[in-house]
Amino acid sequence: MADSFKCLACNSNKYHMVLDMGEVPLANAFVQNSEDTADQNREPLSLVMCLECDLLQIKDEVDRTKLFSNYLWMTSTSSGAKTHAENLSEHLWKRFGNNEKKPFLVEVASNDGFFLEHYRDAGFDILGVDPSNFAEEANARGLPSIRDFFGVDVVNKILETREKPEVMVARNVLGHSSELQDLVAGMQKLLSAEGTLVLELPYAYMLRAELQYDTIFHEHLSYLTVGSLHNLFKRYQLKITNVDFVHMNGGSLICEVMHENSKVASNDQAMLAFEKFIGLNTVNGWENFAKDVNKQRKDLVALLTDLKNKGHKVVSYGAAAKFMTMLNYCDIGPDLVAACGDANTRKQGLLCPGVHIPVVSPKELIDMSPDFILIGAWNFKDEIISVMRNKYNFKGEFIMPLPYPEIID
């Protein structure tokens, strides 16, 4: 199929439709009250596969300044992210640290500077780049940060005053970029000759295997596999030299990337063979995905409706962007889910985009005496259950929505 579509990675206009989710509001368009119309502008949301380079991506883009200039997600609000920051910074120092000379580390999409702070404390000389308001807040806290979208222009400015970094870190940014080619070109230009780019990104294998369709929203423009990464980096004379995995965001890849002429050999052959075996980068490999997603939607709405009809009160926890996708795609409103708890104070007191479920503090959520808590931020399931049980003494049951709706203790 071909129309106005243009692939983020290779500019091809040929694609295959994987999942059409209709029109939904932006996942972070939380509103102050029911009269606020900021969430009424709905945008088409569909997942397609490029038939030239195999990249899974959103078909219709939204202006990136609408998505990221005033961002609500704060890395530092999750204890899971805190543990990951400690582990990752320790790992990077063991791999690249040098006590005689502080290695220069640049983090792309540094958010509120939470990981930057850990890199600095580990011993790195740091610089962050982020387009949101958080960059200025991080800078004010003594964490050097540039507020801008990372790309070749920003790299040119950095190189006016700094050497090329030995280490670059880009966590959960490739999939967010509407200017993917400029982003990778900037990475290639900034990275020192024997430097290493460390990428962390949700693995599209988990999207398919665990039916994580709620991770499909306008801020996530592409959904990456080792195969599509390999194709992308090859065009910019870069190679994957290591592949590892972490549990973050429902299952993520951590890839190390170096210049093509680096002394370190490429090391992605086994993963490429695995993905070929399971058809992850083929149209046929995704043929049942839409059918399975539609079944999950019907089953979840049926479960919540049944609990309501039996007189049970259901609330949710975790006002994550992914959960906003699920709520809107399934058309779940306050009649089925009375409130959504979240520890992020920037979201408390607001209404979920589109469905207008109120966001409240964890304590306010428990004060509602719910019988069931639907886990919205399922990638932090264990953390949420522990906090609700041990800190707030919740005695009811939890609902895991994916890969199929399930009531758990």
> What are residue 160's DSSP bridge partners?
none
Both 257 and 307 in a single domain? no
Q: Please tell me whether residues 303 and 386 are part of one structural domain.
A: yes
Looking at the fold, whether 231 and 361 belong to one and the same domain comes out as: no
Three-state SS at 189:
helix
Task: Look at residues 227, 262, 297 and tell me which one is the last residue of a structural domain.
Answer: 262
296-308 pLDDT, tens digit per residue, is 999 999 999 999 9
Same domain, 357 and 396: yes
Q: Which residues pair with 323 in a beta bridge?
A: none
pLDDT tens for 325-348 read: 999 999 999 999 999 999 999 999
What percentage of the chain has pLDDT greater than the value 70? 95
* Per-residue tokens: 83: 């543990």
Cα(338)–Cα(188) distance, integer angstroms: 48
Determine, yes or no, domain membership for 190. yes
* DSSP 8-state code for residue 251: S
Q: What is the DSSP letter of 247?
A: -
Number of domains in the chain: 2
- Of 355, 403, 364, the C-alpha closest to 381 is 403
Instruction: Decide if 68 is inside a domain.
Output: no
pLDDT digits (tens, 9 = 90+) for 217-251: 998 999 999 999 999 999 999 999 999 998 887 88
Q: Which residue has the tokens 């423009």?
A: 221
Whether 223 is in a domain gets the answer yes
Tell me the CATH number at 381. Answer: 3.40.50.720
**Same domain flag for 203 and 90:** yes
What confidence score (pLDDT) does residue 2 get?
Answer: 46
Asked whether residue 121 is assigned to any structural domain, the reply reads yes
- Record the tokens describing residue 190, joined without a space: 């900034």
Which CATH number belongs to the domain containing residue 241 in this structure? 3.40.50.150
Helix (H) or strand (E) holding 84: helix 79-96
* Cβ–Cβ < 8 Å for 355, 377: no
**350-375 pLDDT per residue, tens:** 999 999 999 999 999 999 999 999 99
Last residue of a domain, one of 262, 277, 303: 262
Range of the domain at 361: 289-408
The answer to whether residue 30 sits within a structural domain is: no
Give a yes or no: residue 166 inside a domain. Answer: yes
Q: Clarify whether residues 326 and 238 are in a common domain.
A: no
- Say yes or no: 112 and 220 in one domain: yes
Q: Work out the mean pLDDT of the chain and round it to a whole number.
A: 93
Whole-prediction pTM value? 0.89
Q: Which of 329, 398, 405 is nearest to 365 (CA)?
A: 398
Has residue 29 been placed in a domain? no
370: preceding bond cis by omega (within 30 degrees): no
Do 255 and 293 fall into the same domain?
A: no
DSSP assigned state of 285:
G
Do residues 237 and 319 share a domain? no
Q: What is the pLDDT of residues 109-132, one digit of tens each?
A: 998 899 999 999 999 999 999 998
Q: How far apart are CA 129 and CA 123, in angstroms?
A: 19
Q: Which amino acid is at 63?
A: D
* Residue 305 belongs to some domain of the structure: yes
